Amino acid sequence: MRDEKVPVSGDDELAELGVAAAAAAIRDGDITAESYSAALLRRARKYSDLNSFITIDESAVLTAAREADKARAAGSRAPFLGVPIGVKDSYATRGLRTTLGVETLGSFVPADDADVVAALEDAGGIVFGKNNLVEMSFGLAGDNSRYGQVKNPYGRDHVSGGSSSGSGASVAARIVPAALGGDTVGSIRVPASLCGVVGFKPTTGRWSGGGVAPISHTLDTTGVLARSVEDCALIDRIVTKDVAAPPGRSDLKGAKFAYAPRQYMELIDPEVEAHFKNALRRLRDAGAEVVEIDLGEDFSLMADRLTWNIFFRETMESVSEFLRRNDFPVSFDEIYDGLKPELREVWSHLVLPSGPGFASRETYEAALSVDRPELQRRLGAVFTRAGFDALLFPTTPCVAPLIDHRSKFTVAGEEVNDLFLAKNTVPTSGAGLPGISIPLALTGHGLPVGMELDGAHGHDRELLDLARRVESVFGTLPAPV
């Protein structure tokens, strides 16, 4: 919330407002919802080259904003009143087309909202538009063959990250103050890191996934990207109806952080490593205890093995059930037939039961009953037995690669592919822990570097409060030019 009233009139000033600030300005009568939405719509047109949205119904946005102004005049104090938000196009939206990023659903308009969308609208929020995404949320670089590559606002020749690519880019570009995303192996936190915004992945199961196209019912979670931890926390309260006590302190004295370089920094861009190590020094200077730990030689191999085995093994069943339950007018086979050739090849190898890489039932059950509990035990011990408040690591081990090199690029002299972008986020997903990525700094080439904080399972509010205090040490990034 703003401490004092500051006149806000120009489009650039309006676009800089975060969720909490915009809600307060509308509630206090400093601005109207209509003027705010109109400014953001103009900005969306100005930055349309980013390809961050697939669909925006400008008339519907302005109509909803006028209704919000009427509600405010009638005395409404809804916490989200009149605030527009981007929605990843894997979420069903009533009356607004929902494509899942595939051409097969290019004209489909659902009859119902996804649960999270409905919760925000019930709180007065406005669906600004449907954010571009990787087809069926399968990818980390932000490429969509039908709706275009999403570009990074901090460097238009660089990727945005994925699969919540448009969500990250639109928030960074100040088109919307926040956007909903989805995270299975890092699809919120990767674009948040690469685009220089905050990305919050709740504890798996904390947020409803109803009406959101899945990949894996075990790993999926809905979540949000915004420009401040405060805004993520506000949206979390609305979605979960979690009325937590207000934050008590602002300093980091007594906070205990762990970091595990052997597991999270084995292969890392030197500039990202330098920024992360500087962040650890600054946290110590702020009064926190920062301790190096080791999660075991087999940690990364185990996390990758269990997460990817579950990820690919559950896709066909999860997608088929979603299409049937939500009355999408296509079948799994029709979705598969319409995929871009590279993705169809991946699905034919790993997702279809006939594929040579499809995990056997024994492999899948071992991932669920052996590897996953061990990963959860090992990470859980960081918070319980060792008593740390959060585990810290570079969200992505490198900055956003060039779009022309999105499939193969070099980090510290070693060639990697786009899956490398999720190397550090995979364990969090495999264990179902809450994680939040916050921006640290810009590199010498002006690209964002992110740091993730993971918390104990189910301790989302504590993690958000801690992240808010950490964020105050580093501040926010300047807007992209």
Contacts of residue 110, defined as CB under 8 A and 6 or more positions apart, other chains included, come to 92, 93, 94, 98, 211, 326, 327, 328
* Contact assessment for residue 236 and residue 200, using Cβ atoms and an 8 Å cutoff: yes
- Structure-token pair, residue 369: 């009953």
Select which of 163, 164, 216, 228 is catalytic. 163
SS3 at position 436? strand
- Give residue for tokens 């980390």: 140
SS3 at position 416? strand
Q: Is 88 a catalytic residue?
A: yes
Q: Is 163 a catalytic residue?
A: yes
What's the one-letter identity of residue 234?
A: L
- Distance spanning both ends of the chain, measured CA to CA: 26
What string of DSSP letters covers 7-69?
A: ---SHHHHHT--HHHHHHHHHTTSS-HHHHHHHHHHHHHHTGGG--EEE--HHHHHHHHHHHH
286 vs 112: CA distance, rounded Å? 47
Distance of CA 99 to CAs 128, 213, 236, Å? 16, 10, 25
Q: Is 340 a catalytic residue?
A: no
Select which of 37, 88, 160, 193 is catalytic. 88
Helix locations, 371-425, DSSP H? 372-383
Select which of 37, 187, 300, 437 is catalytic. 187
What's the one-letter identity of residue 188?
A: I
Catalytic residue IDs: 88, 163, 187
